[in-house]
A and B are shown apart, each in its own frame.
Chain A
Amino acid sequence: MSVVTDPKIGLIDGPVHSRLDSLNRARGWYDWAGYAAPSVLDTMEFEYFALRNQASLLDISPMHKYRITGPDAGIVLNRMVTRDVGKIASGQVGYAVWCDEDGMVIDDGTLFRLGKDDWRLCCQEPMLDWLLEAAWGFDATVEDESHAVAALSLQGPTAYSVLSAAGLDVGDLKPFGIRDLGEVMISRTGFTGDLGYELWCHWDAAEALWDTLWTAGKNWGLRAIGYDAVDLARIEAGFMTAGVDFQPVHATERLNRGHTPFELNLGWLVDFSKGHFNGRGALEKVANSPRSLLLRVDVEGFKPAQGALVYSGKRREVGHVTSGIWSPTTKRSIALAHVKMPYATKRPENLWAEIYVEQEGQWHTRWARLTKVKGPFFAPPRARATPPAAT
């Protein structure tokens, strides 16, 4: 379900647009849920290396944000998502995925437990309709906060130092923790696999928050970045993106384009012991019989494998690469790829990508052997250290 931009209105400004506009020398804007969001502000390489070596600031306010409150809020969410939300303590964030009645993933997102009966769900796809359906008949209220709550993502090894310099000390905040400081709420979360924080505030307070961080970040190498740099970082972290690495089933029109959590390596998020949840009946039947698997793979050579078809033994087409990059930090070519069963598990050393390479108007194909990787491609210890090093 993509948000269609009204051509008469065009893209609209986010809460810190004036700041981004003056920084956007590359003039790279893209449509994120109807907002003008930067893809690149000066060069993607500078931005990426700021993210991995210094600190980066990204406006993530266009993300869809929903507030679910009331005595039955937890029941509603447990009914909707596949994990047991009861295990997410107050002041904690949990990653979650939710499915339709056929067990196909609708979207994934982060659940912020702000209080006993107070939750915020952040996700890429519009979800108000679905949340209202889930809440029907329960004592819970669903509110779309997408245009009321702004969020800035501060990521990178010096992110903690930037916050300290801004007078926001969250040294004891552990990964997935939340700290409410009144005007601003800080969660130790992100989409980069690195040390990082997300700062949440009222839409109108976002500019002031941006300026505070900007000033504080001067001596810590802080750089405003666009999504292109984040995309590299998230692939290195092994994170998948809706609409790229899986198709949100409500946004598909063709049959069988959806995926179960098991096919996306999210089986660990499915809790059959918690009682009924949406798609449970269907998921119980298919838990042990995925049709394909989303693999993390090392790609031989150095050519980005984006869009490559995957073959078994260079002969049988068995899948395709959904996200493939040259990873600047790990210095290797890495990819996420959907591979059909049984080829995803049977003789995985026999998987090859047929990469299409364009060089000055000429196309070539390169065979690159794929090697399955367990866990993220890049997971620096600094991402989890508490308190973080004051680098």
Chain B
Amino acid sequence: MTRFDAIVIGGGINGLAAATTLARKGKSVCLVEARNTLGGMATYAIGNGPPLANLLHNLSPAVLASMGVDPSAIKTRRLRTAVLGDAPVIVDGAAARMADGTPHPDSERFAGLVDRLTSYGALLRQLAEAPAPVGAPDTMARLRQLWRLGRFGMSVKRLGKVEMRRFLQLLLSNAYDAVLDELPDGPLTGMLAADAVRGAATGPRSPGTVFNLIYRMGHGGNPELPEGSMTQVFNVLADAAKNAGVTISTGVRVKQITLEDGYVTGVETDDGPLKAPLVLSTQSLPATVRSLGAAHLDIEATRRARHLRARGTVAKVNLQLNGLPELVHLPDPADQYRLLIAPSADYVETAFNPAKYGGMSDTPVIEAVIVQGATGPWLSANVQFAPSNLTGGWTDAAKDTLLKTTLAAFAPYVPGLEPRIESTQVITPSDIETATGTPGGHWHQAEMALDQLLTLRPVPGFERGRVGPAGLYLCGASAHPGGDVMGLAGRNAAFAVLEDLA
């Protein structure tokens, strides 16, 4: 039986980031992944269908640096966003144009808003790129923590009086009011509203949704389509892990986190035991609690864990096509765009309404891209809102309804779509939960809400990702700062571990 310094459970972006960061600091690390492929939720796919995550918009350069990955090794193609409609709008970064190339009438105000949100994103990234500022183990770590907080405070101060007030005012408010304060309702506000609630169980009028929009813009927020597919990105990351000396075991399921006298001793897998005094888990909090056994946690801790809010609202609808469909009113082929059905902020809010009560939207918000598969193109769509707690459950009939609703939503803007369809896949939040163990199939393992962020993520009491017995850490999307194909949660956990060991 081999001994390691640390075991990382889960081979998604955060598991790879945590394992590689630790290995590059001289630790012997074993990464165990239950599936046969790396990439976690991002690369989960059915058959030869496209993976769950198609786009990169938040991959952290800091994570790549910690992993020793040359950013240029990750080849991507930047997409423009086409907000579909009778008069579609094409957005590229902060620039908004009409289909004929003329600037959108509100383009200046839009650019101002996007620039401001992007600068706020860069500001908040300071907090995201370090362990949550609480519970440092010793004086040095505490000083570092204070220094980081002080630096963040200074950065906010440096915005200037007016801009600082605007930042603080905006940070906790709702996306709907924030964007409609600047722009009349239409495709541009629809896009921002949709981006603010993607993956979340909120509508644009829900409080705190501006934060989610800013979070998305932490690294610019531009949709980048990986060359090849998401699997290629993870091949690069896996190579970095192997170069750093990480032992990667795929197809190995962790059954139990093992303990002795309140200290972690490793994991019991269906392949036998692995020993290490440190275990970092990318599993969701409830799954980690299950692997640990509730008896090893305080009652308050399990109470908080079971009341964690994680309700997935995004279903994946994949359509295998026999060729690219024509887009109405748009100059370029479909594979040049991120296609968005979110004609207004009101539309997005209305789409959310049924989800409050366990229903799916009959006019859904959709984000779709064309992905090249081995056998041809797929249109891969994130359809929202399709809540994990659908009344009556996700039966075949419910899946069929979701598919029909999706096709009906596309019909006005992509009229030639249906004849091109060869096959279809509907992956509901429940399917995602079953496949990945993430509660509610939630993208971030835990709702990105203000009461579940920073030092409160995923729940109060698990400071710096420490869970229960000494040596156990959360390092997945449910840890600070949260999910997306970003990797900071894993890197932060690795840094917290290194600080705790020092």
Contacts and interface: CB of A to CB of B under 8 A. Distances in A.
Interface of A: 75, 78-80, 100-101, 130, 133-134, 136-138, 275-276, 278-281
Interface in B291-310: 294-303, 306
9 contacts: A80-B299, A133-B302, A133-B303, A136-B294, A136-B303, A138-B294, A278-B298, A278-B300, A280-B262
Given A75-B295, A136-B294, A137-B294, A100 B262 contact: no
A46 B290 CA distance: 58
A279 B295 contact: no
Contacts of A130: 299
Contacts of A276: 262, 295-297, 468-469
Interface in B269-313: 289-290, 294-303, 306
Contacts of A278: 298-300
Contacts of B306: 136
A134 B297 contact: no
A101 B300 contact: yes
A101 B299 CA distance: 7
Given A136-B306, A276-B262, A100 B300 contact: yes
A134 B262 contact: no
Q: Which of A75, A101, A130 has the most CB of B within 10 A?
A: A101
A359 B300 CA distance: 50
Contacts of A279: 298
Contacts of B300: 100-101, 278
A281 to B, nearest CB: 7
B299 A134 contact: yes
Interface in B207-256: none
10 cross-chain pairs, A with B, having the tightest CB-CB distances, nearest first: A101-B298, A137-B294, A101-B300, A276-B296, A278-B299, A133-B299, A278-B298, A134-B299, A133-B303, A79-B295
Given A101-B461, A276-B262, A137 B302 contact: yes
A136 B301 contact: no
A136 B461 CA distance: 19
A281 B294 CA distance: 15
Contacts of A280: 262, 298
B308 to A, nearest CB: 13
Interface in B249-267: 262
Interface in B164-203: none
Contacts of B468: 276
A310 B300 CA distance: 35
Interface of B: 262, 289-290, 294-303, 306, 461, 468-469
Contacts of A136: 294, 302-303, 306
Nearest to B304: A101
Residue of B262, B289, B290 with highest tally of chain A CB at under 10 A: B262
Nearest to A80: B299
A328 B409 CA distance: 87
Given A276-B296, A280-B262, A281-B262, 6 more contacts: A79-B294, A79-B299, A134-B299, A138-B295, A276-B295, A278-B300
A194 B332 CA distance: 93
Contacts of B262: 275-276, 280-281
B269 to A, nearest CB: 22
A137 B289 CA distance: 10
A130 B298 CA distance: 12
Contacts of B289: 137
A324 B296 CA distance: 41
A130 B299 CA distance: 8
A275 B306 CA distance: 22
Given A101-B461, A276-B262, A281 B303 contact: no
Nearest to B470: A281
A146 to B, nearest CB: 21
B169 to A, nearest CB: 32
Interface-central residue, A100, A133, A276, A280, by most chain B CB under 10 Å: A276
A46 B262 CA distance: 54
A231 B85 CA distance: 79
Looking at B294, B297, B306, B468, which has the most chain A CB atoms within 10 Å of its CB? B294
A80 B303 CA distance: 13
A101 B468 CA distance: 11
Q: Which of A130, A136, A138 has the most CB of B within 10 A?
A: A136
Nearest to A138: B294
Contacts of A78: 295
A80 B302 CA distance: 12
Nearest to A72: B295
A276 B303 CA distance: 16
Contacts of A137: 289-290, 294, 302
Contacts of A100: 300
A280 B294 CA distance: 14
Contacts of B302: 133, 136-137
A212 B295 CA distance: 45
A188 to B, nearest CB: 31
A75 B293 CA distance: 11
Contact of B301 (A75, A80, A101, A138): A101
A137 B299 CA distance: 11
A153 B298 CA distance: 35
Contacts of B297: 276
Contacts of B296: 275-276
A191 B300 CA distance: 31
A261 to B, nearest CB: 15
B470 to A, nearest CB: 9
A335 to B, nearest CB: 34
Nearest to A276: B296
A304 B294 CA distance: 48
Contacts of A79: 294-295, 299
A138 B295 CA distance: 9
B295 A281 contact: no
A275 B296 CA distance: 8
B13 to A, nearest CB: 29
Nearest to B289: A137
A141 B468 CA distance: 25
Nearest to A100: B300
A78 B299 CA distance: 12
A276 B298 CA distance: 8
A205 to B, nearest CB: 35
B354 to A, nearest CB: 31
A281 B463 CA distance: 14
Contacts of B294: 79, 136-138
B423 to A, nearest CB: 41
Contacts of B461: 101
A70 B31 CA distance: 38
